[in-house]
C-alpha cells in the first residue's frame, strides 16, 4: 500500500474507492506482491533443483491457489480438505505434498488414493501405512530436529515438546519399520517453526537433516518447510532469503555430491509468499475516551482478525481516511464481547468516527482463521490482479449462519 497525492493505493488502485465498492470489513490481496515473493525464492536458490510448494493453510481461497499453480508452484496441504481444494484448483496430485499431523490412518489413505505425496510424522501411522501398502506407495517422513526456532512458542514446531514430527532419536525405530514393511522412503521433511530470524538456526537444522538423510538410500527430495520471517513494522527484522540461499545452496550441493546424486530441494512457504500481499480494512464505529486511554472501536474483531490476540502478533495500523492528520495515541479494539485488542498505545493519524483503518500483513493466517463468533458474519475477499479488482469471496449473510442448522419442534 502506497501513499500517492494524499491517497492510499494498492497496486495502483485507489483504496477509498475499493472500500466504497466492497464495504468493510474486507480483505484485499494483490497478486503482484505474491509473484514478487515467489520470484525471490527462485532467485535465492537458482543454483539447485528447487521446488516451492505454497503452504495453503496461510490463505486457502481457491483463486489464490490457482494463481500459484500458474506460477509453477506446488502445494503444501495439511488436511484432506486442503488436498481437495488443491485438486479443485487444478494442481496435479504429484505437485501436492500432504503433511498432516495427529490424523487417523484413514485420512492418510485418502491422500494415497488421490495420488498426492505424503509425509508421515507418527511412528504408529508409519507402521500401519507400511503394512497396508508395502513399497507400492512411497512416503516422506517428517522429522523433529529438536531445535527451538521462531519468535513465539506458539509458532515453534521443531522443539522437544512439539507434537510435530518423529524425533531424530527415534530413527532406529523408523528404520526397523521401513525394513520390515518394505516402505520406500522418497523424502524427508522438517519444519522448525515460523519467524526464523537467524539464518544459522536454519543451517543448524539443515545439518541435522543431512545427517538423517544419509541413512535413507532412495531419497528424491529433502523438504525444509519454511518459517521465513517477514517485516511487520518499519525497520523490523526479516529473514535474509538471499543469504540463506547462498549458504544453504553451498551445503546442499555438497550433500548431494556425498549422497551420490542430485536431489530436489523443497520449501513450503506460506507467510513469506502472501503475508505482505494482504491488507485488511475496517471502519471506525466509535471513539471512546476513558480515564486512561482513547479507544478506537471498529466494525470487526477477533472473529475476523485473531492473530494479535492469538499470537501477540504486531500488525501495523494506518488511518487511510486521514493520512496527513496529527499523530495521536490510540488503543484499537474490536466489537466482540471479549478482550479483542488489535494494538495498545498505537501512534496513528487523528482518527474520527467513520474513518477507515488498514491492517498490513493481512495475507497470511488471517481470513483462514476467521470465525462466526458472536454470530458475526465473515467478510469478503478481493483480489487485485493485473490492474483489475475481483470479488473472490462474497460477504456472508444471515442465511449463511442458518445454512447447516436444523430446526426442530421443541
d(CA 199, CA 228): 9
Active-site positions?
Answer: 337
Q: Looking at the DSSP assignment, which residues form a beta bridge with residue 389?
A: 384
**Residue 63 CB-density burial (10 A; 0-12 exposed, 13-18 middle, 19+ buried):** middle
Residues near 396 by beta carbon (within 8 Å), at least 6 away in sequence: 372, 377, 378, 379
Helices (H) then strands (E): counts for the chain: 12, 21
Hey, what's the cell of 97?
505434498
Backbone angles phi and psi of 352, in degrees to 5: -120, 155
N residues, the chain: 410
Q: What is the dihedral of CA 313, 316, 317, 319, to 10 degrees?
A: -170
The SS3 assignment for 111 reads helix
Q: In 139-240, which residue ranges form alpha helices assigned H by DSSP?
A: 171-181, 199-213
What is the b/e burial string over 362-398, where b = at least 16 CB atoms within 10 angstroms of the residue's CB?
A: bbbbbbebbeeeeebbbbbbbbbbeeebeebbebbee
Amino acid at each position: 500500500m502506497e501513499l500517492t497525492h494524499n491517497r492510499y493505493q494498492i497496486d495502483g488502485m485507489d483504496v477509498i474507492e475499493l472500500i466504497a465498492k466492497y464495504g468493510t470489513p474486507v480483505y484485499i490481496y494483490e497478486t503482484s506482491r505474491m509473484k514478487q515473493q515467489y520470484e525471490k525464492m527462485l532467485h535465492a536458490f537458482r543454483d539447485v533443483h528447487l521446488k516451492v510448494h505454497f503452504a495453503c493453510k496461510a490463505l486457502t481461497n481457491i483463486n489464490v491457489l490457482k494463481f500459484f499453480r500458474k506460477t509453477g508452484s506446488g502445494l503444501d496441504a495439511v488436511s484432506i480438505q486442503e488436498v481437495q481444494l488443491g485438486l479443485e484448483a487444478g494442481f496435479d496430485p504429484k505437485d501436492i505434498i500432504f503433511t498432516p499431523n495427529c490424523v487417523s490412518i484413514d485420512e492418510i489413505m485418502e491422500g494415497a488414493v488421490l495420488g498426492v505425496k505424503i509425509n508421515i510424522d507418527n511412528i504408529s501411522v508409519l507402521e500401519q501405512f507400511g503394512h497396508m501398502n508395502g513399497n507400492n506407495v512411497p512416503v516422506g517422513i517428517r522429522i523433529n530436529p529438536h531445535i527451538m526456532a521462531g519468535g513465539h512458542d506458539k509458532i515453534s514446531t521443531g522443539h522437544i515438546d512439539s507434537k510435530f514430527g518423529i524425533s531424530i532419536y527415534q530413527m532406529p525405530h523408523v528404520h526397523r519399520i521401513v525394513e520390515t514393511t518394505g516402505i520406500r522412503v522418497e523424502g524427508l521433511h522438517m519444519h522448525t517453526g515460523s519467524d526464523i530470524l537467524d539464518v544459522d538456526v536454519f543451517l543448524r537444522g539443515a545439518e541435522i537433516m543431512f545427517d538423517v538423510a544419509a541413512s535413507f538410500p532412495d531419497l528424491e527430495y529433502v523438504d525444509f518447510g519454511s518459517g521465513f520471517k517477514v517485516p511487520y513494522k518499519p525497520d523490523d527484522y526479516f529473514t535474509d532469503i538471499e543469504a540463506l540461499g547462498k549458504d544453504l545452496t553451498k551445503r546442499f550441493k555438497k550433500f548431494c555430491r556425498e549422497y551420490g546424486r542430485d536431489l530436489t530441494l523443497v520449501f513450503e512457504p506460506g507467510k513469506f509468499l502472501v503475508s505482505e500481499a494482504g491488507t485488511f480494512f475496517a471502519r471506525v464505529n466509535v471513539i471512546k475516551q476513558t480515564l486512561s486511554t482513547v479507544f478506537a472501536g471498529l466494525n470487526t474483531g477477533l472473529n475476523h482478525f485473531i492473530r494479535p490476540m492469538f499470537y501477540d502478533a504486531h500488525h501495523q495500523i494506518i488511518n487511510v481516511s486521514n493520512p496527513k492528520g496529527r499523530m495521536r495515541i490510540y488503543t484499537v479494539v474490536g466489537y466482540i464481547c471479549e478482550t479483542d485488542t488489535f494494538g495498545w498505545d498505537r501512534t496513528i493519524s487523528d482518527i474520527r468516527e467513520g474513518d477507515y483503518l488498514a491492517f498490513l500483513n493481512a495475507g497470511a493466517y488471517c481470513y483462514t482463521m476467521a470465525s462466526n463468533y458472536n454470530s458475526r458474519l465473515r467478510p469478503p475477499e478481493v483480489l487485485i490482479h493485473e490492474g483489475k479488482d475481483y470479488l473472490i469471496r462474497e460477504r456472508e449473510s444471515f442465511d449463511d449462519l442458518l445454512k447447516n442448522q436444523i430446526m426442530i419442534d421443541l
